[in-house]
Structures are given as structure tokens and as C-alpha cells.
Amino acid sequence: MSATAAPIEPSGAVDAGSASTLRREVWRELRHSRSFLIGMTIVLVWTVCAVAGYHIGPYTPFEQNLNAVNTAPSGSHWFGTDQVGRDVFSRVIAGARSVMLVAFAATLLGTILGTVLGLITGYLRGWVDESLSRLIDALLALPVVVTAVLVVAALGPSSITVALCIGVIFAPLIARTVRTAVIQERELDYITAARLRDERGSYIMFSELLPNVMPPIMVEFTVRLGYAIFTVASLSFLGLGIQLPTPDWGLDISQNISVVSAGYWWEVLFAAAAIASLVIGINLVADAIEKAME
Amino acid sequence: MSSPQPRPDALVVDHLDIAYTVRGNLRSAVRDVSFRITPGQAYGLVGESGCGKSTIALALVNYLPRNGAVTGGSVEIDGTDVRSLRDESHRRRRARTVSMVYQDASRSLNPSMRIGRQVAEVFTVAGADRRQAAERAEQALARVRISDPAGVMRRYPHQLSGGMQQRVVIAMALAAEPALLILDEPTTGLDATVEAEVLDLVAALRQEISTALLFISHNLGVVARMCDRVGVLYAGELVEQGPAREVFTAPRHPYTVGLLRCIPRRDHLKGHGVLDTIPGFLPAPDADVTGCEFADRCALAEDRCRTDPPPMYPVGDGRGSRCHLHERAHELPRSTPPQARRAPEAVAATPLLQATGISKTFRSSGADVHALTNVDIEIRAGETLGLVGESGSGKTTLARVLLGIVEADAGAEVALDGQPLADKTHDRSREQIKAVQIVFQNPDSALNRRHTVRRLVGRALSKLSGLRGSTRDQRLLELTRSVRLADRYLDLRPGQLSGGLKQRVAIARAFAGAPRLVVCDEPTSALDVSVQAAVLNLLAELQGKEQVAYLFISHDLGVIRYLSDRICVLYLGRVLELGSAEAVFSAPHHPYTEALLSAVPTVDGSTNERIKLDGEIPSPANPPSGCVFHTRCPRKVGEICETDEPPLVEQEPGHAIRCHIPLAELRTMQKPERPAPAAIEPVA
């Protein structure tokens, strides 16, 4: 085959709005989305807190001042102090780390497991799909928090157990989304073309299908991250996650909930507001991404 | 509505400009388009994708998308400015003014409503009570030649065939006898014989009612057959208009000249030479063109073409051409040399691929669907076997059996070079896998949109040819250059390429393993004619160089004829005729082939005598007894056709026909070859 004969096609009708510019399109869309900007700001603030929270607070989160227990918010203690005189503001800032780390790890684990499961069930179909899908349906029937409580209580409370447990519970949810996307995608001719080259199943699943089902996976990941934050905080509240004295929102709420009736509302409110704001921030981002992807 | 004074023109489009707002910028889509349609006239609007046809149609009915707006000029339908019809209070008046039929009838009908109610609704809106409406709905369906209107009214849309659905939609569109009926690609996607029936129907209805037609199509043949006048759109401008026959036989704009030359004609074969193409691409939508929009692609262009935008020059009675050089448009030089191609070398004695006894039965909701019944074909090295048939004929299933994607029923044998081919691709040897590859119809689906061209072709090279490293990179460049892909495209993804370029990538991938047989499954049907010509040229060229055989599937008989050495006609999973392209295309042929050939509208307007087929293609789940074609055969001889299936008999050397009528009799029935439509080869 020589390339001498005829002229090469002269100019390239390169148009926008296509796969490789998809990322750019989505990004452009996101930058103009108010909910994305607000949500991202909230998430970024908490991320900074998670990274540097132990150092940027006015006090260290562990410092006890027994001369100033249960003091109301003031100039020196913006969010007041708790029962042992720790600065609530500093603990809220530092508390972002544990919950975000565990939730992120859990969601990542769940997404990876779920994606693999979804690719396998969606691509292979047949009895593999039948049996795995039944298993997934069974897992989906379990209520998340109740299951987590039972499992973590049985295995012993620790951050790693919590992350593993939530990840495994999330996997079937993500698997179902991925499976639906894969089932649509596998009907396209490029999959037939790959089979005609006798490609291995693993290549087809991970190199051909996976990049094309990334958008729903991204959406699912952000949505799950919001739920994970909430679940991790709930488990800490029940004493089933992070252990004292690590600053943690859920844990701090449970430690101080008993004194709310005594009027020391600030010891609980700010941690609760922190959880709420992070979940809302992530959900705003998730909504914006979902909208931009369509 | 009946007034003494003469009826106003059905449509007057006057200096129409339409623009879309894209990210805050106004992007012009249609510029300075003017034409008029007198009552009862049929006007055809032709052009390739992106030329603004659909935008104009939407503007006429006031349905432009929210970011589109008429920025200049006016549209009057039946004497009324369309902008005044927007109002909800004018709904009734609009129904009597204009209606539109879209390409896909199944999407125009509500799937959950019986046909009767949907059609009657049109009359209810116009003010009829329920019983009246039902009666008039039945009449409307009878008018579009639906033989059992009462029965059809009780059915749901999915129970009707595509052609029948389109009839229902046309009946609804004509219910209020609008002044103007817009048909936007009404037969695209229908089979050739069904398309012909729908076109016949529209032509017949024109005799009965005074509705004017605006016919939008990319198919020049259809427009030539249906329309009195035609306008050619290019890049949002009307570049030429005039009486259809004159425009198509003596075009006065270089774009029209080029477009007509791209179409493979019935007497033009790959051995005769390459097809002409139009070089280059449409200007980008945001390009700033100062002179003529077509100048960049026009071999005649002079300096003033690049600086002065040409006006619409009047060129004779009711004709106009937007070209400074309209006097010499026909002198447009060919963009490809017309050199003859060397004929493929003598065909090997042993066939490359031999398939015998191929049957395929799908089970669908308890019923057996016979997609293929006892098909025997052979393909010789370096030849093209054209596969012709309407939907449901089993052509794609046959191709998939050969490729090893679909497993044939027991008893089928496929051999490549005399070696048996396993049922599944996976069980074939690497030599066999690389020997049989495919080019799909839709490159968007066939190419992974997340992979670059380099990766798409490179993976095929390493997997099929086993090449690695720099040898592979070297071969990749050779291969992509041989399909005329510039090196700079290698790192782009499919979405950044035009349709024609994408199909080249798909062809390069199929050729990565030096295949012996490439299945081409409608490889050009998603492309514009000028791009189609370039892709057909490429396929013919690669065949000459590589001695590859093609199994070429297409519904376009012109394309099949251009590329094929032999042709196989399938109907309901059976081979009805098999022979050299020459023999199949000229009488005597099987009555079905005869009907198919007569159904194709030609650009030059030479009206073939249409052989009409009755009824619908029967369901493959319940094929007719005896000869499967007897239910629609215009030449049915008698009872024998209903009881005995005729064998596929080699009537003359290399030409087999499955028909009870002896060859000699067919010959006398089918008049000697009609005079070749070479009469009006416009500007060769």
C-alpha cells in the first residue's frame, strides 16, 4: 500500500460537541452553574479544614481548659466550649478530617467494587448476570444504617471497618447503575468489532466499555459521597466509628447531646450544621454534574 | 375560504434569514432564501446535511428551537404571515394552512392510542362531533389507499408497517386540506418498494386535492420524480433553483453539477472509472466567508468569487443560479481523474468463501422466525458480491453468520479456502479471524468514541497483525494514509471527525489484518452523496490493490451496481436470484428483482414503468407457502406458486433464478432492456 496516488483529504471538518470535547463542554456547563459553584465552595472549605484543620483553628482540638467549661459562644471561643472546656470551633474544623476521609474511602471502594460488578453483569449477561443480580437485589433490600450498625458492632468499631462496611453496602447500588449503562453500550457496533478481533472479555470491559460508562459513574460517585458522609456521621454518633479523643462531628454530638437540655446548645448545633452543610454542598455538586452530563 | 379572487401563492419565502444563538453568539444558519410555491405545485428542497433544509422547514411552521430565530425576511403561507399563526387562538386556521409529515412516522403517532382515535382527533379539533369525526377518519384512511380502513382504525401504531404508518400520518396531515403540506424526508428509512408506493400515493393525491407540496429530501432521485420545481441549498443559501427537470439535466451552478456527478448511475461500473467527488468540506458554521460560499470547493472559482458574494442571477425561464460563472458551470473540471480501473485479475478457480445450507431460526416470543432458509452462496477472491433485499430479508443475518457473530442452525457449513470456519469467531484461527472483517453502517456506533484514531487502528493492527512497537507505528501510518486520512487526524477522537472521515477510520481498521473478505454493511447509507462517492472510490481502489473480496450490503441499487461483480437477491431469507451484476440488472430477471429495479427513482427523471407490488412484506415468522413471493408477485402464474416452492435453478451459466416461470417466458414478459438512461448524462 503506497500513499502516493491520490491527494489526502484536504481540510478537517472538526466540529465541536463531541466525545473528546465532552469533558470541556461539561466543564463549561459547570462553570456557569450556580449550584455547582456554591456546592464546590462548601466542599473546598471543608476539604481545607480536613487537610489543615488541626493547625488552622485558634486552639488545638484537644486542649482542655477546665476553667472555661460549657461557655457560650464569645469573642475568644466563637462556637463556645464543651463539657471539658475544649474549643468547639477548633473541634468542628478538625472534625472534617475523619468523616471526609472515611466517607471518601468508603465511596471509592463502593464505586470500584460496583463498577466491576456492573461491568461483569452487564457485559456477560446469562447465568452470571442472573445470579449476581439476584445477590445484588438481596443486598439492596438491606437498610444501610441498620446493616452497618450490625456489621460494625460485630466486627468491632474502627474507621476501617466503617469504610469497608459502607463500601460493600454501596457496591450493589453502583453496580446496578453501571449495569444499565453497560447493557445499552454493549449493543453498539464497536463491541461487535472488538469481538471480531477476538478481544478478551477483560479488555472489552475495561478498555472499551469502561471509558464510555464513566459519566454515570461520576454522577453516582458524588451522590453516594453525600450519603456516605451522613452514614459515617451516624455511625460515629452511635459510637461505632471513630473513637475518642479524635475530633469527629458525629462523636461530638453524641458526647454532648445530654447537655443540650441544660441549655448548652452550641456544643451540638455547630457539629450538626457542619454535617448538614457538607452533605448539602456535595449534593449541590452532584446535581450540577448530573445536569451537565445530560 | 372560497373566495372569488385567485388563491394566493401557497408559500412565499422572501429573503429569509435564520440564525441560532450559540453560547451568546449569533450564528447564521440560513441566508437570503427566497422561493415561492403556487397552489398545487410541488417544490423540492435538496441539499446535504448541514445545508439548512430542516431549519427552513421548522421556520415555516414556527417550530424553530428556542435558540433559533428568524432574523430577516418573511414567510407567507396562503397569504398569511406565519408569525401571526403562533397564537393558540389560530390553531384551527393553522390546521387549514400548513401541516408537516416527518421522516419517522412511528414517532409522529402516539403509541398508546388506537389509529382511529388519533385520526379522528384531527377532525374533532376542526369542530366535528365524535361520530362525524370517526366517519371522516375512515374516509381519510381510505383516501390514502388503505384497503381496510375500519380494521386499521382499531389497531395500534406498532401493529402497522412503516409504510402503513406513513400513510396514516399523511392522511392526518391532509385531513384539513391545508394549503401547504411539508414532507421532510418522508420516505427515508423505508424500503425501496415501500418508498415507491408512498411516492405513488403522494403523486396520486396531488391529482385529487389542491394542496401544494414542499418536499425536503437529500435524495435527488426522489425529488426529481415528485417535484415540478427544485431549489438546491448549500451552506444555508439557495444556490440554484428552477424547474426540476432542467436543473437536474442542465445544472447552472457548479455545486449542483458536482452533486449530480457524485451519484453512481446505473450504467456506471467500478471498472469504468472512479466516481467524481466534491473536494473539501462545508464551511464551518461560524466561518467568515466574504465571497461565494462554495468558492473554496469550486474548481472554476476566480478571484471575484472569493471577494464578491454572487447574487441570484436569473438564468432563463424561472431559473436562477447564485454563481458568477453560471454560463460555464457545466465546464467544472472533474476533481478525480476519470481513469479506468484495471479489472480485477482472473478469479481463482476455487472460491474464497463457500457457505452452504445456511438457515437461521430465531425464537421470538414462542414463535420461530425464519431469518434465513437454506442459503448457499460463494464468494470468489477479489470480487464483490452485492447483497440486495428489503428489511427482513435476512441480509444482515447472513453477513453475521459468515462473521461468526450469529450461529447458524445445524447443518450449515461455511468454509474459507476450503477450510471449515467455526460457528463462533472465538473458535476460529487467527488467520481466519483476520481474513473476515466488517465495515459497519454507522461509524458513530462502530468506533469507540473515547479512543483516538491512533488507538482504534493501532489496536486492530496489534491484535490482527500481531505487530508491536515501531513496526506497528510504521504500518499504522501506511494504513491510514492508504485510506486518505491525514496524519494530523491520528490523535483526534471520532467525535471530532466528519462522517466520511469516520468511515475511513472504520475502513482502515477492517483492513488492519490484510483481510481476504470484508463485509460492507450499508457503509455509505449514513453519508451524503459527495462523501459516499469518495468512500466508494476508496473501497474500489483498495479492492484493486489488495485483491480483497467484498460482501456488499446496500439498499441503494445504484451503489450496488457500481461496486458489484455478482449480485444475490434475498427475499424473506431465501435467495431469489443470483448471478453476475450484468445478468441480474438486465432482463430477464426474477419478478421481484424486476419490481425492485423499477421502484428506484432516477435523477434524470427517466420514468421507468413501475411494477407495482401488492401488500406488505410478509412476516418471516409466518412465511407464505410455496414460493414466498407469491403473495406480492405481479407475474404469478397460478396455483403452483402457492403450493410448490420453485427451486433455485441455474437458468443460464452463472445466473440462477428461483421462479416457476421458465427463463424464455420471463424474457418475453419483461420487455427488452429499457433504453439505458444514458440519454441525459448531464455534464460528463
pLDDT mean over B224-251: 92
Summarised one tens digit per residue, pLDDT across range B504-527 is: 999 999 999 999 999 999 998 888
Summarised one tens digit per residue, pLDDT across range B171-219 is: 998 887 888 999 998 888 788 888 888 888 898 888 888 889 999 988 8
Per the CB < 8 Å rule, is A189 touching B446?
Answer: yes
Interface of B with A in 351-410 (CB under 8 A): 403-405
Residue B485 sits at the chain A interface (C-beta within 8 Å):
yes
Predicted interface score ipTM higher than 0.95: no
Per the CB < 8 Å rule, is B438 touching A193?
Answer: yes
Question: What total number of domains does chain A contain?
Answer: 1
Residue of B nearest to A211 (CA): B450
CB B213 within 8 A of CB B227: yes
Q: Cα(B443)–Cα(A18) distance, rounded to whole angstroms?
A: 14
Summarised one tens digit per residue, pLDDT across range A210-226 is: 999 999 999 999 999 99
SS (H, E, C) chain A: CCCCCCCCCCCCCCCCCCHHHHHHHHHHHHHCCHHHHHHHHHHHHHHHHHHHHHHHCCCCCCCCCCCCCCCCCCCCCCCCECCCCCEHHHHHHHHHHHHHHHHHHHHHHHHHHHHHHHHHHHHHCHHHHHHHHHHHHHHHCCCHHHHHHHHHHHHCCCHHHHHHHHHHHHHHHHHHHHHHHHHHHCCCHHHHHHHHCCCCHHHHHHHHHHHHHHHHHHHHHHHHHHHHHHHHHHHHHCCCCCCCCCCCHHHHHHHHHHHHHHCCCHHHHHHHHHHHHHHHHHHHHHHHHHHHHC
pLDDT mean over B7-19: 90
**Better pLDDT: B578 or B265:** B578
Per the CB < 8 Å rule, is B463 touching A190?
Answer: no
Instruction: Give the minimum alpha-carbon distance from A132 to chain B in angstroms, rounded to a whole number.
Output: 25
Cross-chain CB nearest to B489 (options A12, A193, A196): A12
Cross-chain CB nearest to B496 (options A3, A11, A20): A20
Residue A6 sits at the chain B interface (C-beta within 8 Å):
yes
How confident is the model at residue A10, as a pLDDT? 38
pLDDT mean over B268-278: 80
Instruction: Give the minimum alpha-carbon distance from A113 to chain B in angstroms, rounded to a whole number.
Output: 23
Interface of B with A in 305-344 (CB under 8 A): 336
What percentage of chain B carries pLDDT values higher than 70? 93
Summarised one tens digit per residue, pLDDT across range B107-147 is: 889 999 999 999 998 888 877 888 999 999 999 998 888 88
- The CATH architecture to which B11-105+172-247 belongs is 3-Layer(aba) Sandwich (3.40)
Per the CB < 8 Å rule, is A18 touching B494?
Answer: yes
Residue A18 inside a domain? The answer is: no
Q: Cα(A142)–Cα(A148) distance, rounded to whole angstroms?
A: 10
Residue A3 inside a domain? The answer is: no
Q: What is the pTM of this model?
A: 0.84
Residue A4 sits at the chain B interface (C-beta within 8 Å):
no
Residue B298 sits at the chain A interface (C-beta within 8 Å):
no
Q: Give the domain extent around A161.
A: 24-293
Q: Cα(B146)–Cα(B167) distance, rounded to whole angstroms?
A: 8
Question: Mean pLDDT score of chain B, rounded to an integer?
Answer: 86
**What are the chain B neighbours of A204 within 8 Å (beta carbons)?**
none
Per the CB < 8 Å rule, is A190 touching B284?
Answer: no
Whether the pLDDT of residue A16 is over 70: the answer is no
Residue of B nearest to A201 (CA): B426
Per the CB < 8 Å rule, is A212 touching B464?
Answer: no
Per the CB < 8 Å rule, is A14 touching B442?
Answer: no
pLDDT mean over B221-248: 92
Whether the pLDDT of residue B3 is over 60: the answer is no
Chain position carrying cell 452533605: A279
Per the CB < 8 Å rule, is B445 touching A22?
Answer: no
Residue of A nearest to B406 (CA): A192
List of residues 6+ apart from A187 with CB closer than 8 A:
none
CB B449 within 8 A of CB A212: yes
Backbone angles phi, psi at A24, to 5 degrees: -65, -40
pLDDT mean over A168-176: 92
**What are the chain B neighbours of A10 within 8 Å (beta carbons)?**
279-281
How confident is the model at residue A14, as a pLDDT? 43
User: B450, B455, B511, B545: which to substitute to probe chain A, counting the most A Cβ within 10 Å?
Assistant: B450
Strands B566-571 and B384-388: parallel
Cross-chain CB nearest to B425 (options A1, A2, A198): A198
Summarised one tens digit per residue, pLDDT across range A174-199 is: 999 999 999 999 999 999 999 999 99
pLDDT mean over B587-595: 88
Residue B96 sits at the chain A interface (C-beta within 8 Å):
no
User: A2, A189, A204, A212: which to substitute to probe chain B, counting the most B Cβ within 10 Å?
Assistant: A189
How confident is the model at residue B367, as a pLDDT? 80
How confident is the model at residue B519, as a pLDDT? 96
Summarised one tens digit per residue, pLDDT across range A227-284 is: 999 999 998 898 887 777 788 898 889 888 888 888 888 888 999 999 999 999 999 9
Summarised one tens digit per residue, pLDDT across range A79-126 is: 888 888 888 899 999 989 989 999 999 999 999 999 999 999 999 988
Residue B37 sits at the chain A interface (C-beta within 8 Å):
no
What percentage of chain B carries pLDDT values higher than 90? 38
Interface of A with B in 150-209 (CB under 8 A): 188-190, 192-193, 195-199, 208
Whether the pLDDT of residue A2 is over 60: the answer is no
Residue A244 inside a domain? The answer is: yes
Whether the pLDDT of residue B623 is over 90: the answer is no
Lowest mean pLDDT among A2-16, A247-261, B232-246: A2-16
Residue A9 inside a domain? The answer is: no
Per the CB < 8 Å rule, is A15 touching B403?
Answer: no
Per the CB < 8 Å rule, is A1 touching B546?
Answer: yes
How confident is the model at residue A55, as a pLDDT? 85
Position B677 confidence tier, pLDDT thresholds 50, 70, 90: very low
Domain boundaries, given as residue ranges, for chain B: 11-105+172-247, 250-331
A1-10, A108-117, B80-89: which has the highest mean pLDDT?
A: A108-117
CATH code of A263's domain: 1.10.3720.10
Per the CB < 8 Å rule, is A15 touching B498?
Answer: yes
Summarised one tens digit per residue, pLDDT across range B41-63 is: 999 999 888 888 888 988 888 88
Q: How far is CA B51 from the centre of its chain?
A: 17
Whether the pLDDT of residue A17 is over 80: the answer is no
Whether the pLDDT of residue A61 is over 90: the answer is no
Residue of B nearest to A196 (CA): B425
CB B531 within 8 A of CB B500: yes
pLDDT mean over B462-468: 90
**What are the chain A neighbours of B284 within 8 Å (beta carbons)?**
13, 15
Per the CB < 8 Å rule, is B448 touching A10?
Answer: no
Instruction: Give the minimum alpha-carbon distance from A2 to chain B in angstroms, rounded to a whole number.
Output: 7
Whether the pLDDT of residue B680 is over 60: the answer is no
Residue B118 sits at the chain A interface (C-beta within 8 Å):
no
pLDDT mean over B542-549: 90
